Amino acid sequence: MPTSPYVHIQTFVDYLIETRPAAILDIGLGNGKLGFVARDLLDVMLGERYRREQWQVRIDGIEVFEDYIQQLQRDIYDNIYIGDAFQKIEQLGVYDAIFIGDVLEHFEKTKAWEFLDRCIAHTDGHLIINIPLGSEWEQPDIYNNPYERHRSEWIWPDFQPFTYKFKLFQIYPGTYGSFLIRKGDYLDHKIRSLNGT
């Protein structure tokens, strides 16, 4: 959807305060809610830079469904790339933080894991993942957007081995997770998995 639950906003803010990214990639930016939160927190509140020409934090976004993008997102983001994030991220550089909000469940699971590997390759710091967990979150195509269908189901143990900080929320219709993942922890987990340890 072009939007997401609100329960994780304070957790997202806490992650940004801890990591202080100077360059962020927001994958699946939708209506731009968390891009606005990041801009307001990092440039305006913490940086005391409220005018656009003073902003120093780079906030880019990828959105697969161009119709979601309106002027409000263009006013907040430095660059918005339209297309499939699985392909588009390979054309981009490296970011301090990559935010993947309500995106992984729209991929088949094998492809989603491959996508996470691509995201890790494009950050020097952290991934922030927000995602519905469990079987209660079925979703068909909505908003005339074929990409809205949920194609995979996720649970907390999928992320637990490499997650640095997390918060789980109980909201309708089920559990919702917000995860802060350090690049090194993710890579260590991948190495252990390949070695069977």
Which residue range is the domain that position 169 belongs to? 9-195
**72-98: average pLDDT:** 97
- With respect to residue 123, please indicate whether it lies within any of the assigned structural domains: yes
What is the DSSP pairing of strand 165-171 with strand 95-101?
unpaired
- CB–CB of 18/42 below 8 Å? no
pLDDT tens-digit series, residues 20-35: 999 999 999 988 999 9
- With respect to residue 1, please indicate whether it lies within any of the assigned structural domains: no
pLDDT above 90 covers what percent of the chain? 79
Tokens standing for residue 150: 């949920």
The letter for the amino acid at 133 is L
Please state, in angstroms and rounded to a whole number, the distance separating the CA atoms of residues 22 and 55.
10
Please state, in angstroms and rounded to a whole number, the distance separating the CA atoms of residues 110 and 54.
42
Look at residue 189 and tell me whether its pLDDT is greater than 70: yes
Comparing 4-18, 46-60, 93-107, 127-141, the range with the smallest average pLDDT is 127-141
H/E stretch holding 19 reads helix 9-19
- With respect to residue 84, please indicate whether it lies within any of the assigned structural domains: yes
pLDDT in the model for residue 147: 58
Q: What is the DSSP letter of 123?
A: E
**Between 106 and 28, residue with greater pLDDT:** 28
| 96: CATH | 3.40.50.150
- With respect to residue 159, please indicate whether it lies within any of the assigned structural domains: yes
Please state, in angstroms and rounded to a whole number, the distance separating the CA atoms of residues 22 and 109.
30
**59-86: average pLDDT:** 94
The letter for the amino acid at 127 is L
- With respect to residue 90, please indicate whether it lies within any of the assigned structural domains: yes
Read off φ and ψ for residue 159, nearest 5 degrees.
-105, -20
Residue with tokens 């907040």: 76
